[in-house]
Structure 1
Amino acid sequence: MKKTSNRLADGREIVYYDASDDAVREAADQRPLEPTATASEIRYDPLLAEWTAVTAHRQARTYHPPADECPLCPSRDGRLSEIPEPDYDVAVFENRFPSFTGGPGPETAGGPHGLFASAPGAGRCEVVCFTSDHTASFADLTEPQARLVLDVWTDRTAELSQLAGVEQVFCFENRGREIGVTLGHPHGQIYAYPFTTPRTERMLRTAAAHRDRTGGRNLFDDVLDAELADGQRVVLEGEHWVAFVPHAAHWPYEVHLYPRRRVPDLLGLEEEQRAEFPRIYLEVLRRFDRIFGPGEPPTPYIAAWHQVTGAVPERREFALHLELFTIRRTSGKLKFLAGSESGMNVFINDVPPEAAAERLREVASE
């Protein structure tokens, strides 16, 4: 893998990742862009003990441009985009409308009783373009292409976790208008947060309680062992990875992908795990597109890497895993987060996890 870093016209970094060591990336951004002006603030919720980002500048972000004006396609035939090169393997650049940006700053506690704490929304947000092919999806990638993306996620995790003020790095993909995607080109994002996210903190607390209750056992190891022993919800097994629908799945079709050997983050994966991942993940994605039968539009989904980076004391107890889920519950119908889910964070799933797993096994590639 060859890595080349350049700058866009407004000062943002763009990094090219190429499978070939002889790739040359020297094209300059010819757009007349002013330097970016962004500001992010985080505010603390004293009732839930968690942070919310406030980012007014994101209201102006690009929204569903026509395919011939896609900002993630290469710059070709006189049309200039976010990516100056006429072609690329994988390209990563700083988001023009980031949720988190800049370096850390002091936290202030204002308002009556000092309850209104806030701080700069320090961090970084990046866009990861998986391929230059606008009409493709991740599931269309070859195994070498998917392996390159895995290596990119790993490299970005290593680099972003070293930034001042960053406590967690989150790699993810949103696909489909139903999810809220505003650009159709196959891409994902990476958020470098200035705090550990509430979901991760909750998993760490639960794992610690399980360890204390069981005399030192690891919760993630026990969950994976239990799913394998039960077998009803296992979707796909490899030598180094296991894909299963969790016992208490929140979403109509939800798959968790775990390496058999526990590691806390992407950097901990060994070569055997990296080599097998593309085959397993691509097969799961292709099955997702076949869930609802022939003739159905591509399945909208969110794919989210859960990892603990940096100096979090409990990180060795955490298990890197990928969670993939769709909000489509049946043909033409979506699962909305209504009163119970949005108001109380209590999910109600209309599709039994065992039925979802069975369906995902039925649509295996021949």
Structure 2
Amino acid sequence: MNDLPHRRRNLLTGEWLLVSPHRAKRPWQGETAPPLAPERVAHDPGCHLCPGNLRATGQANPDYPGTYVFDNDFAALLPDADPAEPHSVFESAPARGEARVICFAANHGQTLARLDPAAMARVIDTWCAQSAELGAKWAHVQLFENKGAMMGASSPHPHGQVWASDFVPELVAKEDARQRDWLAERGTVLLDDVVAAELADGSRVIEASDHWLAVVPHWAGWPFEVLLVARGGVARLEDMDGPARYSLPLILSRLLRRYDGLFDTDFPYSMGWHGAPHGLGGDTAHWRLHAHFLPPLLRSATVRKHMVGFELLAETQRDLTPEAAAQRLRAVDVAP
């Protein structure tokens, strides 16, 4: 099946995608871009996120030594919203929430992939603290990072974001429904079954430990997409016990260094954590904490995958199989 066109189902969303392995051999005469070679400066006086610098609003950042969290100066969600006006045809609803920026490090030239274990642990602790704090007030907390100009990052300084909302966003709502139905119909947890099946198959596994599994999922839509799943009964970031939390920096660092080593570049991506929406309260037995890594690079540091045409108008399509992508990521040397 892997040599001929076929479809695969995303078990978390229920959506199908088309896999066309033979197209991976086609010549490329499309867009290329010169590889980025960012300067590795520790402090950029023009950066709005560096310690001591002024942000766009004129407010000065403190001289922070590690992680630093502040309210997003241009937040997509606000605590107050106008009520929606009823309409006979069009639907709308108020959207409330808050958004914050998380600086991962004071050093402007760092990335998550290059953080030492202690600094990576501080980022993870910050993610957990933000999820717990904002989850006490809002229905859903979305932590994410857009890395690289190719992914629309507004600053090269190592940072991510957290958006908390009074509604459960569409993708998370789909994942919640699919996981809930799986447990009701089968009596097992969907992502536990996926972990077991991926470990038994082995062809898509990138990194594995007693507490985590990093895999190019069977249904991956992006060329080198990775799903990082917590093993065991972890539903939210703040639910991680000591061993799960302590082991996360290592597997996350190894995954990100594989990305950077694949094409010898600062690998761009969007990544984000999906945990049980806090609006569910304690109704989380069907959930497993996981992170999605969605990188655009396809053939090299200069050729990327565009979601266009059939992908936008019909369904997601990919040429490089998940098995081939996983093999290439595993082949990257991440020895210290």
Cα pair 1:169 1:190 within 8 Å, conserved:
yes
Shift of 1:146: 0.7
User: Does residue 198 of structure 1 match 2:153?
Assistant: no
Residue of structure 2 in register with 1:347 after alignment: 316
Cα pair 2:142 2:163 within 8 Å, conserved:
yes
Match of 1:175 among 144, 147, 150: 147
Residue type at the aligned position of 2:268: P
Instruction: Quickly say closer, same or farther: Cα 1:238–1:82, change in 2 above 3 A.
Output: farther
Cα pair 2:168 2:277 within 8 Å, conserved:
no
Shift of 1:350: 1.9
Instruction: Quickly say closer, same or farther: Cα 1:155–1:225, change in 2 above 3 A.
Output: same
User: Does residue 95 of structure 1 match 2:72?
Assistant: yes
Deviations 1:81-102 (A, max 9, x none): 7553234211000000000011
Residue type at the aligned position of 1:155: A
Residue of structure 2 in register with 1:28 after alignment: none
Instruction: Quickly say closer, same or farther: Cα 1:315–1:82, change in 2 above 3 A.
Output: farther
Residue of structure 1 in register with 2:92 after alignment: 117
Residue type at the aligned position of 1:348: Q
User: CA separation in 2, counterparts of 1:290 and 1:81?
Assistant: 38
Superposition map of 1:280-291 within 5 A: 280-291=251-262
Residue type at the aligned position of 1:237: A
Instruction: Quickly say closer, same or farther: Cα 1:300–1:82, change in 2 above 3 A.
Output: farther
User: Does residue 333 of structure 1 match 2:303?
Assistant: yes
User: CA separation in 1, counterparts of 2:285 and 2:238?
Assistant: 13
Q: How many residues align?
A: 290
Residue of structure 2 in register with 1:161 after alignment: 135
TM-score for the superposition, normalised by structure 1? 0.75
User: Does residue 71 of structure 1 match 2:71?
Assistant: no
Instruction: Quickly say closer, same or farther: Cα 1:104–1:272, change in 2 above 3 A.
Output: farther
Shift of 1:109: 4.3
Residue of structure 1 in register with 2:234 after alignment: 263
User: Does residue 357 of structure 1 match 2:326?
Assistant: yes
Residue type at the aligned position of 1:340: F
Cα pair 1:72 1:83 within 8 Å, conserved:
no
Cα pair 1:73 1:81 within 8 Å, conserved:
no
Residue type at the aligned position of 2:261: R
Residue type at the aligned position of 1:134: H
CA RMSD of aligned residues (A): 2.2
User: Does residue 249 of structure 1 match 2:212?
Assistant: no
Shift of 1:315: 2.6
User: CA separation in 2, counterparts of 1:356 and 1:82?
Assistant: 44
Give the share of equivalent positions with the same residue, in percent: 31
Residue of structure 1 in register with 2:275 after alignment: 307
Shift of 1:210: 2.1
SS in 2 for 1:178: helix
User: CA separation in 2, counterparts of 1:188 and 1:233?
Assistant: 27
Residue of structure 1 in register with 2:31 after alignment: none
Shift of 1:364: 3.1
Residue of structure 2 in register with 1:42 after alignment: none
SS in 2 for 1:316: coil
Cα pair 1:251 1:326 within 8 Å, conserved:
yes
User: CA separation in 1, counterparts of 2:198 and 2:221?
Assistant: 16
Instruction: Quickly say closer, same or farther: Cα 1:340–1:312, change in 2 above 3 A.
Output: farther
Residue type at the aligned position of 1:337: M
Deviations 1:35-84 (A, max 9, x none): xxxxxxxxxxxxxxxxxxxxxxxxxxxxxxx943111001169xx97553
Shift of 1:182: 1.3
User: Does residue 221 of structure 1 match 2:192?
Assistant: yes
User: CA separation in 2, counterparts of 1:187 and 1:82?
Assistant: 18
Instruction: Quickly say closer, same or farther: Cα 1:238–1:364, change in 2 above 3 A.
Output: farther
User: CA separation in 1, counterparts of 2:144 and 2:60?
Assistant: 20
Cα pair 1:75 1:81 within 8 Å, conserved:
no
Higher strand share: 1
Residue of structure 2 in register with 1:209 after alignment: 181
SS in 2 for 1:98: coil
User: CA separation in 1, counterparts of 2:277 and 2:175?
Assistant: 14
Cα pair 1:70 1:81 within 8 Å, conserved:
no
Residue of structure 2 in register with 1:35 after alignment: none
User: Does residue 151 of structure 1 match 2:125?
Assistant: yes
SS in 2 for 1:299: coil
TM-score for the superposition, normalised by structure 2? 0.81
Residue type at the aligned position of 1:118: A
Shift of 1:340: 2.5
Match of 1:141 among 85, 96, 115: 115
Gaps of 5+ in 2: 1-42
Instruction: Quickly say closer, same or farther: Cα 1:230–1:70, change in 2 above 3 A.
Output: same
SS in 2 for 1:92: strand
Superposition map of 1:125-136 within 5 A: 125-136=99-110
Residue of structure 1 in register with 2:293 after alignment: 324
User: CA separation in 2, counterparts of 1:89 and 1:351?
Assistant: 39
User: CA separation in 1, counterparts of 2:328 and 2:58?
Assistant: 41
SS in 1 for 2:195: helix
Match of 1:188 among 125, 135, 160: 160
SS in 2 for 1:174: strand
